[in-house]
Structure 1
């Protein structure tokens, strides 16, 4: 098991948690926007926290059990099970000690999990590709705190995971402070109303872009 040695400032995580996940996704771009993984229950419970990662063979949760022992308060466990959805990676009871004693904030699984109703009743967020009651083997091998794949995105230990019913965005640890600063500097609505001047500027930029690619012969308008 590798140690995640570069901690991120807590104010950065707290700051990112205040933003709408699609706005974060727009800021980090498509390379860091997860696809195919959603909350196991609705309405989803939003979470923001730093990643502890584990890579497991499909359906094998021995590594998950070990990774739960490496949790610090506010961590989100990100499990790469290669997207396999027939066997689940565990149930809610398996998470209880990490939640109560270590401060586990949430679980994101590139694979299947179960016990959605128990997690919902407890208000504990679980995101996965599927819900499956079929429990798999517990033989390993596994790797903890290594880069993993989660919904098409490479997640490194310590990256900030931002998840809600609108999707999941990954903020790379090295750029998290910069992303937060850019979000803070982004024009905001006034009194809950949209910034019409900003929207008009966006429309003008869109028309200019369309005109440019049309002139280059890359677009044909439907009239």
Structure 2
């Protein structure tokens, strides 16, 4: 693919998915789209949901992240994939300042990040493959707003991204949810039952299935 910047993309509406979180929406969307667990928040407590602006970058080169800033609008989430594995610190405080000025909610990057304390103080959330102070260059072109692979997941420009302390997740912009709201309400009811002391074994009617699978209860170690 030749280096290219796509200016106009169709952005999906996240429809309040941040309030439900990654675990709930991941289950509601048939357990698809979860990024690899090595992608972790650089500081705890953030929860975001929004459309992806994508970057295909070269390892150790953040030139195209600078290019992508111009294509971002309020509410976007920048998603950066690399052409090969990399953990260099490709993103930090200054780029975050530039993105925050455009109204970008946060960054998902399959590479390294640095300036963690400053990012926390700025309240700019980042999910990254690594934390690394190693500097980068601006020497090789990539692309903006093309399909990328980020942490094992294919991300198209405009796809919905949801990220929180659990993980990062994406769904295709054309995919319809089963109902995160309904699942969230269902989980709220289950939470109350469990808090009252009811066992998951009974709430989920597991006992018969466990017995059929061969699980046996004994009262004494000698009976094993």
Q: Aligned partners of 2:188 and 2:203: how far apart in 1?
A: 15
Q: Is the 8 A contact 2:57 2:80 kept in 1?
A: yes
Taking a change above 3 Å as real, the CA distance of residues 122 and 172 of structure 1, as seen in their structure-2 partners, is same
User: What pairs with 1:1-223 in structure 2 (closer than 5 Å)?
Assistant: 1-9=5-13, 13-35=14-36, 36-41=38-43, 43-81=44-82, 82-85=84-87, 87-100=88-101, 102-175=102-175, 178-179=176-177, 181-186=178-183, 187-190=186-189, 193-194=192-193, 200=202, 202-204=204-206, 207-208=208-209, 211=212
Q: Aligned partners of 1:194 and 1:138: how far apart in 2?
A: 55
Q: Aligned partners of 2:151 and 2:32: how far apart in 1?
A: 11
Q: Is the 8 A contact 1:4 1:158 kept in 2?
A: no
**Does the residue aligned with 1:34 lie in a helix, a strand or coil?**
coil
Q: Is the 8 A contact 1:54 1:64 kept in 2?
A: yes
Q: Which runs of 5+ in 2 are unaligned?
A: 217-223
Q: Is the 8 A contact 1:90 1:135 kept in 2?
A: no
Q: Which runs of 5+ in 1 are unaligned?
A: 215-219
CA RMSD of aligned residues (A): 2.6
Taking a change above 3 Å as real, the CA distance of residues 209 and 65 of structure 1, as seen in their structure-2 partners, is farther
- What is the TM-score normalised by the length of structure 2? 0.81
Q: CA deviation at 1:30?
A: 4.7
What is the total number of aligned residue pairs between the two structures? Answer: 206
Q: CA deviation at 1:23?
A: 1.2
**Does the residue aligned with 1:194 lie in a helix, a strand or coil?**
helix
Taking a change above 3 Å as real, the CA distance of residues 8 and 30 of structure 1, as seen in their structure-2 partners, is closer
Q: CA deviation at 1:133?
A: 1.1
Taking a change above 3 Å as real, the CA distance of residues 120 and 128 of structure 1, as seen in their structure-2 partners, is same
**Which of the two has greater helix per residue?**
1
**Does the residue aligned with 1:32 lie in a helix, a strand or coil?**
coil
1:133-190 CA-partner distances (Å, limit 9, x unpaired): 1112211220111111111111111111111111112122111xx21x5222332434
Taking a change above 3 Å as real, the CA distance of residues 207 and 111 of structure 1, as seen in their structure-2 partners, is farther
1:64-120 CA-partner distances (Å, limit 9, x unpaired): 0000110010001000123301x22132112212212x1111011001011111000
Q: Is the 8 A contact 1:4 1:157 kept in 2?
A: no
Q: Is the 8 A contact 1:65 1:94 kept in 2?
A: yes
